[in-house]
Structure 1
Amino acid sequence: MNLGHYARRIVQRSNEMLNRAGLDLSRIETPGSRAAGLAFQWRRDPANVQRGAVVRTIEQGHAVRFFVADNSDLIQRYHLRGKFYEAEELALLAPWFRGGLFVDVGANVGNHTLYATLILGADRVIAFEPNPPALAVLETNIILNGLGDRVTIQPVGLSDRPGRAMVHLPYANLGGAALEVTDRGELEIVTGDSVLVDEPVAFLKIDTEGLEMSVLAGLEQTIRRHRPVMFVEVEDVNIPAFTAQCEQWGYRTETTYKRYPVNTNFLMVPQD
């Protein structure tokens, strides 16, 4: 028996023993599919117990902690390396955010929320995230970084009218979760205006997987009242309607960034 085969047998036997003990063991990988460690989860854990990795890092001179619950998830694999996801897009925000209230619509696990508070120095963040698996990681990230007094989480989706929705989850990408508005849904949908009616919004980030036009319609009063800078991911099929609506509201396109073939990020600045 060669050494490699013997080592694999030891690992196999060890896993069998752990399984009999009620412990699930899974491999943690970096975005380059290299081993970064092991994750443990007891089967007897209550449903509200979530085990994972805590990554401590320094970003632009600031201490950041990321909670990684699923190492196969696209964004969390970056966090596992101690990196923010979509660093190029995040860098576009800094010149246009000068403090105040940052609103994160489609906060997912908190990538932009953490960046806004820890790196950009937002006084407050209101983070909208209805998807339960992403919401659990978002809440943990807020606690880990001691941001409970600066971040308010709204566990609801946004649209142009109140209602219900269900979520469709793609494989290994919580950030790609899409809401389907339906009376049969378990998730709550509200308008952004109903939540932000008294909030002085300085910056508005929207990433809602194709629902941006209905989300913006439900935020019209807030946008007209406070004139926030906006950073919006827009499905390419919605670009003509989006730019027309922004022109009507008196906004200009400062810059765009295209990472994926089906959508484009727009940084919109009020003209007045």
Structure 2
Amino acid sequence: MLRKGLREVATALARALHWAGLQRSASWRMAVFDAAPAGAVLVSQRGQETYLVSSADRAIARELYVKGQFDFEKFEKVMHLLGPTFRPALLLDIGANIGCICIAAVKRGLFERALAFEPEAFNFSLLTANIHLNGLASRVEARNMALGARDGEQLLFELSEDNFGDHRVSFGTLDGRFSEARRERTVVRCESLDSQINGDLQGCLIWMDTQGFEGFVLQGAARSLESRPPLVVEFWPYGMQRNGSYDALKQAVLQAGYTRFHDLELDGGAVPVSEAAFDAVWKRLGVDGRFTDLLIQ
């Protein structure tokens, strides 16, 4: 009844006021999103891109619907830090969700093309639709799989009810801060990044948000990392502690020969790569759920 009442109020306001003006209002768009039936698919045309989003996703989809983009300010900060000597060509979007990074990056001309990996079936269906809606079928390729340390694995995947960016590889049913014990679980296909990439990685940026699984993805990318393409990885101690991937992340970065990183949450300069430096970031964030993103070069 509450949702029906909100929809009736929204309809009345739309009739009383200019519709285009309402569409530009973030408060209005938030009210429309929150009043939508559970699981409805909405069209977001707030920004330069068009996205289909699910009203059940209270995180990425909600922000896309209200603001027209998600995390793209962070992406632009990374491009600034990479500087004019970096010649962007290929974006690898690992954990692409519904395409808010790879689609905007290619459509706005920041990259020539993108290869996007998304393992969860519903997110992948929206990702594929969004690529076509934005006219990027020839420039953005989507693959329905997870990436990890080995080829041909079947991974148990746990699904968040209200944050479709927090679907992640499951390492048991022990409950935690995000109601993991109550999550529905499914099986997803997993391959290594090295098996998916052929050719020169000059001008490649690897953008990775896999909810704590990043270390295992990098384990399966040893050959791909030989030329040290810049990496953007989510650094989430809670997730890494839960699945035991932290040591794998540190070892992969050190073995590949990366030399510095930027903590994108902070405005400080580059930090030399070392185990101690990564441990300092871990200590700053703690294991209660805070995270940051690191640009590793």
TM-score after normalising by structure 2: 0.68
| Cα distance, 1:197–1:118 mapped onto 2, change above 3 Å | same
> 1:90 corresponds to which residue?
75
Q: 229-238 vs 135-144, which deviates more?
A: 229-238
1:77 to 62, 68, 74: 62
- Which whole-Å CA distance do the structure 2 matches of 1:86 and 1:241 have between them? 26
Q: 103-112 vs 235-244, which deviates more?
A: 235-244
- Is the partner of 2:295 in helix, strand or coil? strand
2:88 to 99, 115, 119: 99
- Which whole-Å CA distance do the structure 2 matches of 1:129 and 1:31 have between them? 31
| Structure with more strand by fraction | 1
- Which whole-Å CA distance do the structure 2 matches of 1:85 and 1:244 have between them? 30
Establish whether residue 206 from structure 1 lines up as the match of residue 191 from structure 2: no
Contact 2:215 2:246 in 1 (8 A): no
- Which whole-Å CA distance do the structure 2 matches of 1:67 and 1:223 have between them? 33
- Which whole-Å CA distance do the structure 1 matches of 2:247 and 2:292 have between them? 12
1:64 to 44, 49, 57: 49
Contact 2:36 2:55 in 1 (8 A): no
Establish whether residue 250 from structure 1 lines up as the match of residue 251 from structure 2: no
> 1:146 corresponds to which residue?
135
| Cα distance, 1:133–1:73 mapped onto 2, change above 3 Å | farther
Contact 2:30 2:62 in 1 (8 A): no
Q: Give the aligned residue type for 1:36.
A: V
> 1:171 corresponds to which residue?
161
Establish whether residue 194 from structure 1 lines up as the match of residue 184 from structure 2: no
- Which whole-Å CA distance do the structure 1 matches of 2:130 and 2:50 have between them? 7
Bigger-Rg structure (1/2): 1
- Which whole-Å CA distance do the structure 1 matches of 2:166 and 2:28 have between them? 20
Contact 2:42 2:54 in 1 (8 A): yes
- Which whole-Å CA distance do the structure 2 matches of 1:172 and 1:137 have between them? 16
> 1:35 corresponds to which residue?
31
- Which whole-Å CA distance do the structure 2 matches of 1:54 and 1:213 have between them? 35
Q: Give the aligned residue type for 2:137.
A: G
Contact 2:218 2:249 in 1 (8 A): no
Contact 1:125 1:152 in 2 (8 A): yes
Alignment gaps of 5+ in structure 1: 1-6, 12-29, 42-49
- After superposition, give the CA deviation of every residue in 1:234-260 in whole Å (9 maximum; x if it has no partner): 233566653453233221333113498
- After superposition, give the CA deviation of every residue in 1:179-223 in whole Å (9 maximum; x if it has no partner): 2379x9632111110011335361101111111111001011011
| Cα distance, 1:194–1:136 mapped onto 2, change above 3 Å | same
2:290 to 256, 262, 269: 262
- Which whole-Å CA distance do the structure 2 matches of 1:70 and 1:220 have between them? 39
How many residue pairs end up in the alignment?
231
TM-score after normalising by structure 1: 0.73
- Which whole-Å CA distance do the structure 2 matches of 1:235 and 1:31 have between them? 31
Alignment gaps of 5+ in structure 2: 9-25, 173-184, 267-284
Contact 1:31 1:77 in 2 (8 A): no
> 1:4 corresponds to which residue?
none
Identity %: 24
